[in-house]
Amino acid sequence: MPSYTAPVRDTQFILHDMLNVSQAGIPGYDELEADFTKAVLEEAGKLSSDLLAPLNTVGDTEGCRLENGVVYTPTGFKDAFDQVKEGGWPGLDLPEEFGGQGMPYVMGTAVGEMFSAANQAFTMYQGLTHGAASAILTHGSDAQKATYLPKMVSCVWTGTMNLTEPHCGTDLGLMRTKAEPQDDGSYKITGQKIFISAGEHDMADNIIHLVLAKIPGGPDGIKGVSLFIVPKIMVKEDGSLGERNGVSVGNIETKMGIHGNATCVMNYDGATGYLLGEKHKGMRAMFTMMNEARIGVGMQGLAQAAAAYENAVIYARERLQGRDVTGAQNPDGPADPIIVHPDVRRALMDQKSFVEGGRAFLLWGAMLIDKAHRADDEAADGLISLMTPVIKGFLTDEGYDMTVLAQQVYGGHGYIEEHGMSQFTRDARIAMIYEGANGVQALDLVGRKLAQDGGKHVMAFFDLVKGFIKDNDDNEAIKADFLDPLKAASKDLQTAGMFFMQNGMKNPNAALAGSYDFMHLFGHVCLGLMWAQMARASAAALDGGTSDAAFHETKLATGRYYMKRRLPATAMHLARIESGADTVMALDAEAF
Amino acid sequence: MPSYTAPVRDTQFILHDMLNVSQAGIPGYDELEADFTKAVLEEAGKLSSDLLAPLNTVGDTEGCRLENGVVYTPTGFKDAFDQVKEGGWPGLDLPEEFGGQGMPYVMGTAVGEMFSAANQAFTMYQGLTHGAASAILTHGSDAQKATYLPKMVSCVWTGTMNLTEPHCGTDLGLMRTKAEPQDDGSYKITGQKIFISAGEHDMADNIIHLVLAKIPGGPDGIKGVSLFIVPKIMVKEDGSLGERNGVSVGNIETKMGIHGNATCVMNYDGATGYLLGEKHKGMRAMFTMMNEARIGVGMQGLAQAAAAYENAVIYARERLQGRDVTGAQNPDGPADPIIVHPDVRRALMDQKSFVEGGRAFLLWGAMLIDKAHRADDEAADGLISLMTPVIKGFLTDEGYDMTVLAQQVYGGHGYIEEHGMSQFTRDARIAMIYEGANGVQALDLVGRKLAQDGGKHVMAFFDLVKGFIKDNDDNEAIKADFLDPLKAASKDLQTAGMFFMQNGMKNPNAALAGSYDFMHLFGHVCLGLMWAQMARASAAALDGGTSDAAFHETKLATGRYYMKRRLPATAMHLARIESGADTVMALDAEAF
């Protein structure tokens, strides 16, 4: 069974050495002193290692069970969820007004990585509740907030998101679920939703479904979609629970991974629902959840990679096989540990440099969200809006590939379920798909976000990169190894953007055919920027005579690997992008 | 449930338009006229589609079951195996002398792709038997051949390969299984072997295990390993079956995929074994099986990609979601099929161009084996020896990635097991691991094969590429789109090889740190060469007024995609290789 040790030291480095959070001037951030965040992260790490990680294999092996309309979660999940609730973790970054702890989103994200790494399927129950609570917080009436939020912030009630129907996923305009207005102002919701994570289970007193549906007579397509609150059990005026609502689970899906989370077919048969936000503005309200959810999914991709990497390292240090080609390292043993072999190193360094760079990217993104929300910073809002599809698409694609690499380190032992390495890849696979498949993220990035507000957000990103390079121009410790490659990669990104501008107007396909490569190119540049910033921080620490020189030397070495070995991918992505749409669109559909 | 239609047309194109097999002058190839191969492939395709493919999901869902020492295969496997035996398929390319059909290996490979694509777990039972029979054919005594081969060629008895032990996989020198010589010339085999595919099952009258073990007192390490024939049931002198031998199944592994194949822990408790080949030369004998097995595993990677691709195309044509950004293509329907979207195209073209290029690579490799064995061509033998790790490593890595891409086309429907797309990825995953994990293939390529015989095989490969480019220099139909990019990619490969030569001598790690990238760089150049050859064939067909212009136009368009969009990866791999070992080996083992 795999183990999990939370990356407290590394997260502390990102928060304090790199992002310097307590000095960032964002409301609420002044509390984020190093001692405080360390205490929170250590506590979360302990819970992850001791409580959640041991249940990961259990969840995978047992899965969820549907009997007579009741979904039973795997053994131990309910008790663990009770402990998580008691610790107040679900409300860590939700408002104190509703029982939360009011910490910034960046802390919720840092803790979320740990929980997800330890047990993704389990953590989704609270993750979806968090998203649903956020939507009610932003779009709900005062009465709705009062009714639902205190229970949801504590996860006494959990939440879900209901978008997909059998014939409509990405294209929600095709939705058939109906919401018939009633005289009392409520609606009767009828239709079938599929792929509903945590749709039904035995760990909460109630489940608050947020459901997209069409009010008959409204506009066609996506403009006629509204969002509704549909409780599993009706809530009386005094807040106590009443009768069952007309919503039931039809089935739970058999799937590749995240077996511990019940993925449900939900049937709404005239269920009572309450409009959340404005009529026909359901997509806007849903996007509040979806942007947060997308960053949360990027976090999952990173988290699975981090957990898998950690176990790959343990195995590579212990497994004795072959000899170091430059001379035995374990001469008294029957063979050397496989970590001596250059190709095993290559696999581990790919993982390590991604995980640490990706973690910085994720936390920087979370900080931008705090800046946007807590400091009403429009530039930060624009930047994170641009960056969201990159965080989601790049971190989940790469995160998945890293779990595959980690599994590969185990050889045949990675393919059997016993060691848990297969589960990391199977669980990580979903993150490339849900909350908008990664192709849709690429489309969002290139088709929408790039040109948003006259392209000013992407210009702001380039300014950020240029500014960083310029500001550190005389920093010899990082110039050749970090700034120069970052500059080259950033130039590839700009050239790609220019190609889209010059060709996308006359032929949108010329841009869209390169969208996926652009998302990855962008992701690499972001990680290059993160590594350059981390390198500056570590070089400064070493220069200042840090007591933890080994940590910072390792950080610099890991960053150098990324810049030398991973960042050159930008040129390949650019070449693909610049080849345009001709070869991509050459065939008739029948010719495939 | 996924469907399967065998690529008869495409395989025919490769055999006849590209490889021109019947004119190749290889003994036995003169029979491979187009009508003949078409009849064989169509029959194999029919069996694959109608019999094997429908059992693929069954095998995945049911898995194998161990009860009281007996392994039960999934429902329908036994009947299907009987039909495959009756059709004489297992002996297709084995000698007529022992009941086979004596066809060339290239035909066995073409048919093998179909069977594997339809049902990998099932096809492994006969695939392993084929490998074991080949080893007996090459290294067995006349008596051993007479005893075992007729039964194995027909798969009345099946075979296995027993290498791995719990503490030793790649490093077989650590082996503990013992073979004690007996007075009658036989040996008593004692030890535990793991990960034994098809180790025990209910579909054959007997199972012939080929087992690596050490004869006490022999040389240390790998040089003291011998190979033994250990029948599950003793064979009497008259060929009838006697008592059970001292070998039994200890467990069947729970694994990520290929559930329909029983992966067994095999316990040898003083089992009677017979030396196969020479004492202490077990590795040499085993390598006869392993090289063939490695090409067979490359074939599996390709086959899963082919099957997954086919289903992704079907889904992409049927699933209605969103509109073509350049104008509705299905204006009367609620939405356009997703195949209109450029990023879906990108995913499908990645798959199509890999599958068709990979198929050509595989069949070219199989033809080299025939040339080596049937025509005693040493150059061909050297070239295929060089190419084997590339076929295995590149086709399985890329093949796996393509199954992931195909799954992605399905969105959420690809993650649930219902549509079978998850199974393609889970089954394909093993091919990167078994018969030498792909990192070991890369090591074999760079650490051994490159310099073999003074580097003459890799020089022969470069001559082949150069010769092709030169011979077709005036062919305007393929020059710019195919020959020029092939030249550039080949130059990257040469530069990488040069880097190894200049740096690998003083520091082996400088070469080994780039071994994995070299394997992929090599693979891309091979597929580039294949595409250039196929393009020449299709251009010639079009020039000659073929009646099947659509096929050849599609072939050229698909090839152009590969050259434009995939081949540029060579520059990235070269950059990684040229960065050497410094960043790869920078950290102490404790620093990970």
pLDDT at B286: 81
Query: Alpha-carbon distance B42 to B147, whole Å?
Result: 33
Query: Alpha-carbon distance B220 to B241, whole Å?
Result: 36
pLDDT interval class at A1 (50, 70, 90): confident
Q: Where are the alpha helices (DSSP H) in B375-507?
A: 378-409, 412-415, 421-429, 438-444, 452-471, 484-504
- As a three-state string, the secondary structure of A164-233 is CECCECCCHHHCCCEEEECCCCCEEEEEEEEEEECCCCCCCCEEEEEEEEECCCCCCHHHHEEEEEEECE
pLDDT interval class at A505 (50, 70, 90): confident
Query: Alpha-carbon distance B565 to A586, whole Å?
Result: 13
Closest Cα in chain B to A221: B334
pLDDT interval class at A291 (50, 70, 90): confident
Q: Match 């992260």 to its residue by tokens.
A: A41
Query: Alpha-carbon distance B257 to A120, whole Å?
Result: 21
pLDDT at residue A285 tops 90: no
B513 contact residues in A (CB cutoff 8 A): 342-343, 345-346
- Domain B8-139 = CATH 1.10.540.10: yes
- Take residue B219 and report the two structure tokens written for it: 């040389």
B255–A415 C-beta distance less than 8 A:
yes
B396 contact residues in A (CB cutoff 8 A): none
Tell me the CA distances in angstroms from B162 to A289, B69, B73, B435, one per residue in order.
Answer: 53, 18, 20, 11
Instruction: Give percent above pLDDT 70 in chain B.
Output: 100
Question: Can you spell out the DSSP letters for A268-301?
Answer: EEEEEEEE-SSTT-HHHHHHHHHHHHHHHHHHHH
Closest Cα in chain A to B505: A326
A589–B568 C-beta distance less than 8 A:
no
Tell me the CA distances in angstroms from B10 to A227, A487, B71, B534, one per residue in order.
Answer: 50, 45, 38, 11
Q: Pick the closest to residue B11 from B398, B300, B364, B464 (CA basis).
A: B364
Query: Alpha-carbon distance B348 to A583, whole Å?
Result: 12
A458-489 pLDDT per residue, tens: 999 999 999 999 999 999 999 999 999 999 99
B400 contact residues in A (CB cutoff 8 A): 404
pLDDT at residue A427 tops 90: yes
Q: Which CATH number fits domain A157-280: 3.40.50.10140, 3.40.605.10, 3.40.1360.10, 2.40.110.20?
A: 2.40.110.20
pLDDT at residue A426 tops 90: yes
Query: Alpha-carbon distance B6 to A450, whole Å?
Result: 43
**A112 with A123: CB under 8 angstroms?**
yes
Number of Cβ atoms within 10 Å of the Cβ of A382: 20
pLDDT at residue A289 tops 80: no
For range B250-279, the mean pLDDT: 98
B204-245 pLDDT per residue, tens: 999 999 999 999 999 999 999 999 999 999 999 999 999 999
For range A376-394, the mean pLDDT: 97
Tell me the CA distances in angstroms from B559 to A416, A592, B248, one per residue in order.
Answer: 37, 13, 50
Domain boundaries, chain B: 8-139, 158-281, 452-585
pLDDT at B202: 98
For range A18-24, the mean pLDDT: 98
B589–A337 C-beta distance less than 8 A:
yes
- Take residue A262 and report the two structure tokens written for it: 């019940």
pLDDT at residue B290 tops 80: no
**B304 with B427: CB under 8 angstroms?**
yes
B457-501 pLDDT per residue, tens: 999 999 999 999 999 999 999 999 999 999 999 999 999 999 999
Instruction: Give percent above pLDDT 90 in chain B.
Output: 97
For range B359-372, the mean pLDDT: 97
**B140 with B276: CB under 8 angstroms?**
yes
Minimal Cβ distance to B321: which of A171, A415, A558 = A171
Helices (H) and strands (E) in chain A, counts: 19, 11
pLDDT at A290: 77
Query: Alpha-carbon distance A176 to B310, whole Å?
Result: 30
Query: Alpha-carbon distance A98 to A101, whole Å?
Result: 9
Number of Cβ atoms within 10 Å of the Cβ of A543: 11
Number of Cβ atoms within 10 Å of the Cβ of B540: 15
pLDDT at residue B580 tops 80: yes
pLDDT at B401: 98
Q: Match 């991918």 to its residue by tokens.
A: A569
For range B356-361, the mean pLDDT: 98
Catalytic residue among B113, B165, B292, B435: B435
- Take residue B245 and report the two structure tokens written for it: 């031998």
The number of residues in chain B equals: 592
A197-253 pLDDT per residue, tens: 999 999 999 999 999 999 999 999 999 999 999 999 999 999 999 999 999 999 999
B34-86 pLDDT per residue, tens: 999 999 999 999 999 999 999 999 999 999 999 999 999 999 999 999 999 99
Known active-site residue A378: no
Which residues share a beta bridge with B187?
A: B181, B273
- Take residue B240 and report the two structure tokens written for it: 């009838």
ipTM: 0.97
A110-140 pLDDT per residue, tens: 999 999 999 999 999 999 999 999 999 999 9
Determine what percent of chain A falls in helix, strand and coil, rounding each to the nearest 5.
60, 15, 25
Minimal Cβ distance to B326: which of A313, A352, A509 = A509
Query: Alpha-carbon distance B530 to B524, whole Å?
Result: 10
- The answer to whether the A8-139 and A157-280 domains have the same CATH topology is no
B533-558 pLDDT per residue, tens: 999 999 999 999 999 999 999 999 99
Tell me the nearest-neighbour CA distance from B444 into chain A, angstroms.
12
A341–B512 C-beta distance less than 8 A:
yes
Closest Cα in chain B to A310: B592
Tell me the nearest-neighbour CA distance from A172 into chain B, angstroms.
9
pLDDT at B292: 80
Query: Alpha-carbon distance A264 to A207, whole Å?
Result: 13
Query: Alpha-carbon distance B411 to A70, whole Å?
Result: 27
pLDDT at B116: 98
Q: Supply the mean pLDDT for chain A.
A: 97
Element (H, E) at B171: none
Please give the interface size between A and B, counted as residue pairs whose CB atoms are below 8 Å apart: 265
pLDDT at B383: 97
CA triplet B585, B588, B591: central angle to 5 degrees?
Answer: 115
Sequence-ordered list of residues with C-beta below 8 angstroms from that of B110, at least 6 positions apart, any chain: B11, B15, B37, B41, B44, B363, B366
Minimal Cβ distance to A565: which of B253, B316, B583 = B583
Query: Alpha-carbon distance A126 to A296, whole Å?
Result: 12
- Domain B158-281 = CATH 2.40.110.20: yes
pLDDT interval class at B447 (50, 70, 90): very high
For range A98-119, the mean pLDDT: 98
B418–A412 C-beta distance less than 8 A:
no
Catalytic residue among A200, A310, A356, A435: A435
pLDDT at residue B418 tops 90: yes
Q: Match 């999934």 to its residue by tokens.
A: B74
For range A184-188, the mean pLDDT: 98
Query: Parallel, antiparallel, or unpaired: how do β-strands B206-214 and B157-162 relate?
Result: parallel
